[in-house]
Amino acid sequence: MVEKHLNSETEQTAHQQKKAFWWLSFVAFFSVMNETVFNVALPDIAKDFGVQPSAASWVNTGFIISFAVGSMVYSRISDMYGLKRPLVIGLFIYGGGSLLGLLAHAFFPAVILARFVQGAGASAVPALIMVMITRHIRPEDRGKAFGIVGSIVAAGEGIGPAIGGMIVHEIHWSFLFLLPMAALLSAPYFSKRLVDETVLIRNIDVFGICLLSFAIVMFALFTTEYHILYMTAGFVAVSGFALHIRRVKHPFIEPSLLRNRKFVIVVLSGCVLLGTVAGFISMVPYMMRTVYHMSAGMIGGGIIFPGTMGVILFGVLSGTLTDRIGNRPVFFLGLSFIAASFLAASKFGDRAPWIMTGLLVFTFCGLSFIKTVISNSTAQCLKQEEAGAGMGILNFACFLSEGIGIAFVGGLLSIRAFDMPFLPAMENPEGAIFSDMLYIFTFLAVAGGLLYVLADRRIKR
């Protein structure tokens, strides 16, 4: 009887975890979609407020920076208070930021502030779903779980520009702030049904969070303004953070994790690749507007959206392949899709719009493969007790790199001297700057691949 009762409790717990996983996936779709939904609106925002692309890019960069820092904070909090309370609080912060943006959309600084607040709330979801998988999914099934999440996340990132383009074209870009409200539908379920586990209680390293956040903002400003003062301030803050985490009892980032070379190299590889792809995707609306004079609706729905169709299939497929044949083959398949797409776009992107549409399909599919492998490889580098902090660092670093990638593109578009082609370029003279950026993206993708090769030698698959 006791054994039967225990089995019943185990089955019930597994059912609750499965249901919570799908609710988290639902919310993750909307939270990550908000990362890219403003992409096609950036040219319109720059025009409405009379600002340079480097300034307009902060509508996305601000969201992603707070999203990155928040993902790390929520992962650390989950080690202290479990999943329930951080998740519900994050959802309401997300809704508050959305309301602020909608009501104050006529004031550019308020729009940037609203995006920072949105990111601080939305980051709870992908951070905690990664922790849930690492803690509660068997190692032999993690690849599939990461694949499902990667598919949902990639679909959210991909469909964001399509929905955003439609809303911008038919209504106004300020109504993009309404979309996140759908995530609040899940709050009652999490509040009532999700079991809140307490792992341990300890203080939060607020000073460390502030130091690292300041450094990130300074580095992001440097990629858009290229002023040495920002770079200097960033290095000072990072140096102070490095000293700080060695002196406090419970630092924001455990120094022991940073001494795990396998873990660090895998995370760096993911940063380079995801940041590069994010920069490429943020470049596409500017390229389509400049070369083809397309509207936001056509860019989002006709150029970017088709790429999301293959993402759902390939995200699940990547998880299955990873479990069966290992990380490395799947990784290089994804890398090949991405690098080949960049090279083809650099030369033929101005021949016809449908060419970019097809290349984006390959890029999004490659992105799904890369995300699954990076998540799975990172989990293999961590001990059970390191899951929350380790997966939090991965989320933090990768989301941060996406923000830096978008800011980098905005900065390059504001440099007039970059208009000259340095290598064989598109036939359309207006496409020269985009050809140059695509060659840089290709180089960065290859560099990310080499980093993974270095890490893969140390990882037991």
Average pLDDT, the chain: 78
Predicted local distance difference test score (pLDDT) of residue 2: 44
Mean pLDDT for the stretch of residues 293-297: 78
Burial zone of 51 (CB within 10 Å; 0-12 exposed, 13-18 middle, 19+ buried): middle
Q: Are 97 and 184 in contact (CB under 8 A)?
A: no
Predicted local distance difference test score (pLDDT) of residue 5: 44
Please tell me the distance from the alpha carbon of residue 444 to that of residue 277, in angstroms, as a whole number. 10
Mean pLDDT for the stretch of residues 442-460: 80
The token pair that represents 228 in the structure block? 């040495």
Predicted local distance difference test score (pLDDT) of residue 114: 92
Residue 274 CA to chain centroid, in angstroms?
7
Q: What is the pTM of this model?
A: 0.70
Percentage, residues of the chain above pLDDT 90:
6
Residue closest to 444 by CA, chosen among 210, 317, 277: 277
Predicted local distance difference test score (pLDDT) of residue 384: 66
- The continuous run of DSSP H or E covering 259 comes out as none
Residue closest to 286 by CA, chosen among 34, 35, 42: 42
Residue 186 CA to chain centroid, in angstroms?
21
The residue whose two tokens read 């924001």 is: 252
Predicted local distance difference test score (pLDDT) of residue 313: 65
| pLDDT one-digit tens code per residue, 333-370 | 889 999 999 988 888 878 888 888 888 888 888 888 88
Sign of the torsion angle spanned by Cα atoms 111, 117, 118, 119: positive
Burial zone of 3 (CB within 10 Å; 0-12 exposed, 13-18 middle, 19+ buried): exposed
Please tell me the distance from the alpha carbon of residue 375 to that of residue 307, in angstroms, as a whole number. 22
Predicted local distance difference test score (pLDDT) of residue 206: 79
- Tell me the helices (H) and strands (E) count for the chain, helix number first: 19, 0
Residue closest to 45 by CA, chosen among 65, 67, 62: 62
Residue 266 pLDDT exceeds 60: yes
Mean pLDDT for the stretch of residues 430-434: 78
| pLDDT one-digit tens code per residue, 267-292 | 888 889 988 998 888 888 888 888 88
Q: Is 104 in a helix, a strand, or coil?
A: coil
| pLDDT one-digit tens code per residue, 184-227 | 777 777 767 666 555 555 667 778 888 888 888 887 778 777 77
* DSSP letter, residue 383: -
The residue whose two tokens read 């830096």 is: 404
Spatial CB neighbours of 217, under 8 Å, sequence gap ≥ 6: 65
Residue closest to 377 by CA, chosen among 398, 362, 361: 398
Please tell me the distance from the alpha carbon of residue 331 to that of residue 339, in angstroms, as a whole number. 12
CB atoms within 10 A of CB 35: 25
Q: How confident is the model at residue 432 (pLDDT cuts 50, 70, 90)?
A: confident
Q: Are 59 and 115 in contact (CB under 8 A)?
A: yes
The token pair that represents 389 in the structure block? 């902090």
Mean pLDDT is highest, among 5-19, 52-66, 411-425, for 52-66
